[in-house]
Amino acid sequence: MRSYLSRSGRVALTLLLAFVAAACSAPSNSQASAASPSATGTQPPDFELNALDGSSVRLSSYLGKHVVLIDFWATYCEPCLRSMPALDSLYVKYKDQGFVVFGVAIDGPDSLSQVRADVQRLGIRFPILLDQDTRVVALYNPKTSAPFSVLIGKQGNVLLRKEGYTTDSSAALERDIVAALQ
């Protein structure tokens, strides 16, 4: 196939297309917080989800009063399942000081029985919320990676975002929780 553009014309066209693509995907200043709502220091977007126990939980009911950890997890995610007992221990240890954990299950509606079984098998005591249409995870973690945690301070700002889990993660997370509770 014969090219009708000179080499410099192709370079210019490539640069123009790259510029247009960047301009279309880059948020304006007024949209920056909407594009990355859980960026450190920002106010997290509010949401309401049904809990595994049948109740309904709204994040804004806890902001300004509690340190909140939102942990996005799935039943098919082995690191998620390994992290949950450690998160439960932190929840039990600090809940009387104003700490709450919301385990947001991102499994689909057909996995509800598996979510229940895993929570029961692991002995999890913190609230498990159901994001079956992945609406909330899309706000906080568009890549939908799991586990993915967001720590929100008492003032209602995001303090940290963490992707993944290792056995060393618990100690670092506990330090962050203790600092946020003070």
CATH code for position 126: 3.40.30.10
Query: Which regions in the chain score pLDDT beneath 50?
Result: 1-36
Q: Residue 38: its pLDDT value, please?
A: 55
The answer as to whether 29 is a domain residue is no
The alpha-carbon radius of gyration of the chain (Å, integer) is 20
**65 Cβ neighbours under 8 A, 6+ residues apart:** 98, 154
Residue 149 lies in domain: 38-181
The answer as to whether 1 is a domain residue is no
Type of residue numbered 98? G
Q: Please tell me the total count of domains within the chain.
A: 1
The answer as to whether 31 is a domain residue is no
Number of alpha carbons in the 13 Å side-chain half-sphere of residue 78: 2
Confidence (pTM): 0.77
The answer as to whether 62 is a domain residue is yes
Q: Residue 144: its pLDDT value, please?
A: 83
The answer as to whether 177 is a domain residue is yes
Q: Residue 168: its pLDDT value, please?
A: 73
Q: Residue 39: its pLDDT value, please?
A: 62
Quick check: 173 and 156 in contact, CB under 8 A? no
Q: Residue 126: its pLDDT value, please?
A: 98
The answer as to whether 120 is a domain residue is yes
The answer as to whether 126 is a domain residue is yes
The answer as to whether 86 is a domain residue is yes
Rounded alpha-carbon distances, angstroms, from residue 102 to 12, 16, 48, 63, 105: 50, 45, 12, 13, 9
Rounded alpha-carbon distances, angstroms, from residue 55 to 111, 133, 159: 18, 18, 27
The residues with which 158 forms a beta bridge, in sequence order, are 152
